[in-house]
Amino acid sequence: MDKICIKDLTVFAYHGVMKEENVVGQKFLITVQMSLDTSMAGTSDDIDISVNYADVCEKICDYAKNNTFKLIETLAEGIAEFILFEYKKVEAVEVTVKKPWAPVHIPVENVSVNIERKWHDVYLSLGSNMGDKKVHLDNAVKQLEDYNGIKVCKISDYIATAPVGYLDQDDFLNAAIYIKTIYSPMKLLDVIHDIENAEGRIRDIHWGPRTLDIDIIMYDDCVMDTDKLVIPHPEAAVREFVLKPLSSIEPKLIHPVLKKTVSDIYDELCRQGECAKHDYHYDFVSIEDLKISADTKIVYFGNEGAYSQQAMERFFGHGGYISFSKSKFTGVMEAVHNKEADYGVVPIENSSTGGITDIYDHMQDYDIFIVGEQIIKIEHALLSKGDNVDDIRNVYSHIQGIRQCEDFLAAHPMMTPVEVTSTAKGAEIVSKSDDASCAAIASVKAAEVYGLNVLARGINTTDVNSTRFIILSSKKNYIKNASKISISFEVKHESGALFRILSHFSRNGINLEKIESRPIPDRTWEYRFFVDIAGNLAMQNVKNALGGVMAESEGLTILGNY
C-alpha cells in the first residue's frame, strides 16, 4: 500500500493532565502516515484523486487546537478517526504524537504515543424470527450505517431458513453483510449488542427465538477465542444460514483457519447433505380448511356400512354433502381424478397388518393428492342371518378383515374365509343369501345396515387395531396448519443411495414417521419408496430437505400435506 507522510507537524495546544498544561499550553509534534492507493493520482498528476496533505495538516492543527484532552492517547485517537472518516481514500493511518515539553522533571527529548488505525474488513450474519422479521433486519442495517466508524459495503438478499437446535419456533430470515469498520472486535461487539437491544433482543433460550441476532463471522484474518468472542464464528463453516447469504456477496472470501473460500465450503456442505442449495419449489396452495357444501360429492371405498364410510362421516360429519361408494380402490381414485367427486376416502394402512399395497401401487397412476387423514378404531364382528357360531362355514370379508381375524378363524377351523371387495360387501352378500351357514366379518354398523345378527364381537386378533384412511382430492391444496407430508421417490441403484436421501430429513430436524417400499413394475429389484414426514410445505427446513431429496433421488412426488 502506498503512503503519504506528514512528519513532525508542530502545533501549540493545551493537552495534559495538569491544569497549567490546559491553561499555558505547549508544543506538540504530530506525525501522520496515511496508507492509500496513489497510482491513479501518480499517473494523472491530479491532486483531486489523491489526498491533499496541506488540507490534512490544516485540519490536524484545527483539531489539536480546538480540543483539550488530558491524554495524548486521546488526541492521537481523535486524529486517526477524523482522517479515516474525512478522507475516503485512506485505508489505514499511523499517528504519532510527541510531547517534547512534557512535565516529567527529568531530562527527556520527548514522550510520545504511536497508534495505527485502519478500516477492517468484517462480515456479519443477521437473523430474525420474531415479529416483522424484515423490519428488524432493515433496522439493523440502518443502525449500523448511523455509526461513523462503520461503512456498510454489501448486503445479501434476505433468505428464509429453518431453525437449528431449538426447533419449536418460527423460521428465520437471514442475511450477510460486508462492512468496513475502525472498531476493534470487542468494540464492534458492544455496538452489535446495543443494536440487538434496541430491537428488543432477549437472551433466555439458547438457539431460541429472537427479534434480532447479529454475529461477527469474520474480521480481517483475525483468529481469536475468548469467553466473550470467537472469530471466525464457530458456526461459520457448518451452517447454511451463514454460508448461503455470505457466499452470495463474497464467494471468494477465504476462511482464515480452513484456508478455503466460503463458496467451496458451502458447496461441500451441500454435497454432504447438510443443506439444499436450491429450495424445492412446488405448486401446492395453502388454504384455511376443506370447505364442503350441499353440492360437495364424496366417494368412499366399499359398500354402505363400510369402515371407509365411518371414516368419511368422522372426517366430514354426518350429512350436508352427497356421498356414494365404489367397490374398488381404483374406482375411488378414478372418480376423484375425473372430478366426479370432490373428495375420496380410502384405507391406506392398518396398525396390525400394515400398509394396503394396492393404494401405494395406484397412487402414481392418478393426478390426485392427499388432503387429510382419519384414523378409525377397527372392531370386527361376525355377522350372519343365523344365530349360532358353530353353524358357520363360509365367512366373507375383505382380505384385510380376514388377516386381522386370523386367530378367531384358526380357533374355528370349520370356517372357510372367502375374499370379497370389502367388509361391507361381505355383509351385503350374506344379507342376500338364505344360507344360515354364511357369515361376514364386518362392522356392527354393517349388521345394522343389512339386518344381520351379531354372533361375535371384537373378533380381531389384537385390541390395538386401527386403520388409517386418507382423504383424496384432485386439487393441490394443503390446510394451513397441516403437519404431515407424504412423498414418494425412486432410489438410484447404487451403494448408500437410500441413506443419503433419508439423511436430509435428519439433518434438517425432520421426524420420519413412516417408510414403505413397493417394487417398480418391469424393473427387477428396483423400488419406489413411500415416506411420511412431520412438517408443513411452508417450512424452510422442509424445503431444504426436499431439495436435497430431489437431488439424490429420481421421480420425487409430493403426495400431499395434511
What pLDDT is recorded for position 209?
75
In a domain, 342, yes or no: no
Report CA dihedral (47, 53, 58, 63) to the nearest 10 degrees.
120
What pLDDT is recorded for position 121?
97
453 and 524 housed in the same domain: no
Task: Using the structure block, give the residue that is written with the C-alpha cell 490546559.
Answer: 22
Please report the beta strands in 405-525, taking only residues with DSSP state E, as ranges in sequence order. 416-419, 438-442, 453-457, 466-473, 477-479, 484-490, 512-519
What pLDDT is recorded for position 278?
47
460 and 503 housed in the same domain: no
Backbone angles phi, psi at 377, to 5 degrees: -70, 125
**How far apart, in whole angstroms, are the C-alpha atoms of residue 412 and residue 437?**
13
In a domain, 73, yes or no: yes
CB 149 within 8 A of CB 181: yes
225 and 104 housed in the same domain: no
In a domain, 249, yes or no: yes
Backbone angles phi, psi at 427, to 5 degrees: -65, -40
Residue 138's CATH number = 3.30.70.560
Check if 99 is active-site: yes
**Residue 455 half-sphere exposure toward CB, CA atoms < 13 A:** 22
- Count of domains in the chain? 4
524 and 539 housed in the same domain: yes
Among the options 7, 27, 99, 480, which is catalytic? 99
226 and 163 housed in the same domain: yes
Q: DSSP letter string over 136-183?
A: HHHHHHHHHHT-TTEEEEEEPPPEEE---S--SSPPEEEEEEEEEESS
Pick the last residue of a domain from 432, 464, 496: 464
What pLDDT is recorded for position 279?
55
157 and 250 housed in the same domain: yes
**How far apart, in whole angstroms, are the C-alpha atoms of residue 10 and residue 551?**
69
Residue 504's CATH number = 3.30.70.260
Pick the last residue of a domain from 54, 84, 117: 117
**How far apart, in whole angstroms, are the C-alpha atoms of residue 376 and residue 467?**
5
In a domain, 138, yes or no: yes
483 and 424 housed in the same domain: no
Structural domain that includes position 408: 381-464
In a domain, 252, yes or no: yes
In a domain, 412, yes or no: yes
Residue 419's CATH number = 3.40.190.10
138 and 220 housed in the same domain: yes
pTM for this entry: 0.55
Any idea what DSSP says for residue 278? S
544 and 445 housed in the same domain: no
Tell me the pLDDT of the chain (562 aa) as tens digits.
899 999 999 999 999 999 999 999 999 999 999 999 999 999 999 999 999 999 999 999 999 999 999 999 999 999 999 999 999 999 999 999 999 999 998 999 999 999 999 999 999 999 998 889 899 999 999 999 999 999 999 999 888 877 765 555 678 889 999 999 999 999 999 999 999 999 887 766 555 678 899 999 999 999 999 999 999 998 888 888 899 899 989 999 999 999 999 988 888 887 665 554 445 667 889 999 998 999 999 999 999 999 999 999 999 999 999 999 999 999 999 999 999 999 999 999 999 888 888 898 888 889 999 999 999 999 999 999 999 999 999 999 999 999 999 999 999 999 999 999 999 999 999 999 999 999 999 999 999 999 999 999 999 999 889 999 999 999 999 999 999 999 999 987 777 888 888 888 887 789 999 999 988 888 888 889 999 999 999 887 888 788 878 877 888 999 999 9
Task: Using the structure block, give the residue that is written with the C-alpha cell 487546537.
Answer: 65
In a domain, 176, yes or no: yes
40 and 155 housed in the same domain: no
Please report the beta strands in 426-476, taking only residues with DSSP state E, as ranges in sequence order. 438-442, 453-457, 466-473
| C-beta neighbour count of 412 within 10 angstroms | 17
Residue 89's CATH number = 3.30.1130.10
485 and 519 housed in the same domain: yes
In a domain, 145, yes or no: yes
252 and 221 housed in the same domain: yes
Pick the last residue of a domain from 96, 117, 138: 117
